[in-house]
A and B are shown apart, each in its own frame.
Chain A
């Protein structure tokens, strides 16, 4: 069995630098104080809608539920689209639906062959990744064959924490190959990496292996801690450093824990001020979320009508009514 390689970490930190946790928390606290009002708010909310990877990752998912999800992805809310001819009036579809591999073909059937909404699938024994590489690769290939446009893989955290960086890279590289034309999102599962230093290190390992246009992603959403402004910042700092160094633009996807429109706007402020305008697009930034979309729609409706609508207006449970 392999033991941890402190020297491997030290060499990597020497090369890419470390992160000060107090400093990171202080930096992101400034994003939270940004006050986004009026037109900027509407624009930000619509941008966020266009970046949502609308997700359902449950054991009880059914083809019917996935089909409903696909409709919502294409037409997030009927009263918010269409009526004005101007571009400002239209509501974009979300970026993608995100489902388990078994649901990919149902999603493809629901969306059709030429959909503006992509199909993303979590593969590689999501969320733990604890199975043989061959099985993980086979899962990726099946998902792509069934029609997935994007694959969300998990890295081998055990190998990473043991300092087996070559193994981590090699596995990512094999998944890249298995993806073919499908885009890849590499999930670092930040909550299992323990430190900001490790998150930065894992970001670089992934970025050095994947292609321009692929993503790195915070979490599976299946552990206690998910995307935070802090680990988002560490990762986008890494993306910026990597881009300025190599010219290769990697995308970013925070996932899990972003439930409110206000949170989403704060994450977008972080992107605006760290990576700039070129990343304010679904091609380079995504939100992995299930309930976020409803709050974005609720806020957009409120901006439009001046009043909050009842929860059942947004396909939410309406227990309290």
Chain B
């Protein structure tokens, strides 16, 4: 017996641990989406129902982050263009706000239907300009944008019933809106639909790197016959945005973007009568308990962080996993990452597309380097990335500590930081120990624990056994440095009206 035991041990040690082979036995051919995005070589501003050249005569290039090639020229609006836009919006306000709700609703329904008609075209344009996988722009961004217009069209003639017990529901006036580059068309819909349904008029600035679908959307507004000046679109970078939020005619300002810029806007609007809503960054905790169905939880975690290359303010960028299953979950995550398809965003089989801009790619690289330096353990699957364009491998950091920068700062890229916890209280403490509070996820088979967590987590949205689920009827917004105000549902509507 004694003689045999060591021999047995050697054979056991010699046998390699079982591994799965995700190789090239059956590779997929490229399956690019071929719908025509119908891009124009140059996009002007949309002011007072007309497409007008910027007064400065300046344009800037917008590129395809998947191959760094130029897509179109975009007008650069300066303060004087913004001024003209606000005056147009101001002129349009009296008639628009007095229009019966049912009539405003008709415009919104028409816009929603026109968007559905051109869904494929918009999806391709969105993917070209922003780098997100076509399956996401096709199955999520565009349909969800249309859904927001349909939903708010329904409210337009029912505002009195949205806020029971109030005498009058009146719009603010002209609303200045600035939106981010991660969901260009969808964020536009989140902002425009409630503003229009409630009778406000709008000056909106799309993000600098992703203006195309907004300007294509102006074509839809035009086609829908929306009265001139009700929606005005001004394109440009930070200075244009600053002019929009600081404009004296802006009765309300709505911003979605980084916490850094949000703070600047709060300073700019302090001491004015402007109403303000901010939807800012996040560092959401996705909390995985031992009793959770592991494969589905892992799938949800992957969806939570790698959806839209992690360019999602509510991305589940911190995974808090209960100690006993930490190794098992990490192993499952690694296997799942090996089959994520990173590459050409226009390919229908692509799971993770291009990073939106060189600037963002460099920020992600910088923070990942910090993570390695601070001692977190890095894992990236061995996928090949295209040689051109901005790409970043899906990344896992294990052995992350609460104090690490990758656990505290919003990376806004495909990078997941994994921390562990032992007890429910520790999970809540760690999840809430952040300057953000936009969203959180809880994975457990125990219903009572979900209820407890959802009351104790300081986050605007808590998903239970799922992640990144959206609906126009469900209010979305944050706590703490993730902002204030809600978008969607009755709560979102309330931010666009004065109640008396």
A19 within 8 A of B: yes
Give the interface segment out of B188-196, B296-304, B451-459: B296-304
- Known contacts A20-B293, A244-B20, A276-B21, A35 near B31 by CB under 8 Å: yes
B22 within 8 A of A: yes
A22 touches B465 (CB 8 A): yes
On chain B, the residues within 8 Å of A245 by CB distance are 18
Chain B proximity mask over A1-30: 1 for CB below 8 Å, otherwise 0: 000000000000000011110111011000
Most A CB within 10 A of own CB, among B17, B20, B299, B339 = B20
B21 touches A37 (CB 8 A): no
B26 touches A17 (CB 8 A): no
- Known contacts A33-B348, A278-B21, A40 near B26 by CB under 8 Å: yes
On chain B, the residues within 8 Å of A40 by CB distance are 26-29
B425 within 8 A of A: no
B445 within 8 A of A: yes
On chain A, the residues within 8 Å of B465 by CB distance are 20, 22-23
Q: How far is the CB of A296 from chain B (nearest CB, A)?
A: 15
A26 touches B299 (CB 8 A): yes
On chain B, the residues within 8 Å of A35 by CB distance are 28, 31, 348-349
Q: How far is the CB of B22 from chain A (nearest CB, A)?
A: 5
Q: How far is the CB of B299 from chain A (nearest CB, A)?
A: 5
Q: How far is the CB of A275 from chain B (nearest CB, A)?
A: 6
Chain A proximity mask over B36-67: 1 for CB below 8 Å, otherwise 0: 00000000000000000000000000000000
Number of residues from A at the complex interface, CB < 8 A: 36
Q: Which residue of A lies closest to B335 (CB)?
A: A240
Q: How far is the CB of A30 from chain B (nearest CB, A)?
A: 8
On chain A, the residues within 8 Å of B293 by CB distance are 17-20, 23
B139 within 8 A of A: yes
A60 within 8 A of B: no
Q: How far is the CB of B496 from chain A (nearest CB, A)?
A: 33
Question: CB < 8 Å: which of A37, A246, A268, A275 contacts B20?
Answer: A275
A143 within 8 A of B: no
Q: How far is the CB of B331 from chain A (nearest CB, A)?
A: 8
Which residues of chain B (1-47) have a CB below 8 Å from chain A? 15, 17-31
B26 touches A34 (CB 8 A): no
Which residues of chain A (215-241) have a CB below 8 Å from chain B? 237, 240
Which residues of chain A (12-71) have a CB below 8 Å from chain B? 17-20, 22-24, 26-27, 33-41, 43-44, 47
A277 within 8 A of B: yes
On chain A, the residues within 8 Å of B360 by CB distance are none
Chain B proximity mask over A237-258: 1 for CB below 8 Å, otherwise 0: 1001001111100000000000
Q: How far is the CB of B44 from chain A (nearest CB, A)?
A: 36
Number of residues from B at the complex interface, CB < 8 A: 35
Question: CB < 8 Å: which of B15, B23, B348 contacts A277?
Answer: B23
On chain A, the residues within 8 Å of B445 by CB distance are 18
A272 touches B295 (CB 8 A): no
On chain A, the residues within 8 Å of B28 by CB distance are 34-37, 40
Q: Which residue of B lies closest to A243 (CB)?
A: B18
- Known contacts A43-B26, A278-B21, A23 near B300 by CB under 8 Å: yes
Q: How far is the CB of B334 from chain A (nearest CB, A)?
A: 11
Question: CB < 8 Å: which of B15, B22, B139, B296 contacts A20?
Answer: B296
On chain A, the residues within 8 Å of B348 by CB distance are 33-35
B296 touches A19 (CB 8 A): yes
B29 touches A38 (CB 8 A): yes
Which residues of chain B (264-306) have a CB below 8 Å from chain A? 291-297, 299-300
A280 within 8 A of B: yes
Chain A proximity mask over B170-205: 1 for CB below 8 Å, otherwise 0: 000000000000000000000000000000000000
- Known contacts A17-B294, A33-B139, A276 near B22 by CB under 8 Å: yes
B402 within 8 A of A: no
On chain A, the residues within 8 Å of B297 by CB distance are 20, 23
A316 within 8 A of B: no
On chain A, the residues within 8 Å of B26 by CB distance are 40, 43-44, 47, 268, 272, 277, 280
CA distance A143 to B31 in the complex (A): 47
Question: CB < 8 Å: which of A23, A237, A276 contacts B23?
Answer: A276
On chain B, the residues within 8 Å of A33 by CB distance are 135, 139, 348
A194 within 8 A of B: no
On chain B, the residues within 8 Å of A78 by CB distance are none
Q: How far is the CB of A258 from chain B (nearest CB, A)?
A: 18
B434 within 8 A of A: no
On chain A, the residues within 8 Å of B432 by CB distance are none
Which residues of chain B (299-351) have a CB below 8 Å from chain A? 299-300, 331, 335, 339, 348-349
A83 within 8 A of B: no
CA distance A20 to B296 in the complex (A): 6
B466 within 8 A of A: yes
Name B residues whose Cβ lies closer than 8 Å to a Cβ of A: 15, 17-31, 135, 139, 291-297, 299-300, 331, 335, 339, 348-349, 445, 465-466
Name A residues whose Cβ lies closer than 8 Å to a Cβ of B: 17-20, 22-24, 26-27, 33-41, 43-44, 47, 237, 240, 243-247, 268, 272-273, 275-278, 280
Closest 3 CB pairs of A and B: A23-B296, A35-B31, A20-B296
Q: What 18 new A-B contacts, CB under 8 Å, besides A37-B31, A39-B29?
A: A17-B294, A20-B296, A20-B465, A22-B465, A23-B295, A23-B296, A23-B466, A24-B295, A26-B299, A27-B295, A27-B299, A33-B348, A34-B28, A36-B31, A37-B29, A244-B20, A244-B331, A277-B24
Sample of 28 A–B contacts (CB below 8 Å): A17-B294, A20-B296, A23-B295, A23-B299, A23-B465, A26-B296, A26-B299, A34-B28, A34-B349, A35-B28, A35-B348, A36-B28, A37-B28, A37-B29, A37-B30, A37-B31, A40-B27, A40-B28, A240-B20, A240-B335, A243-B18, A244-B18, A244-B19, A247-B15, A277-B21, A277-B24, A277-B26, A278-B21
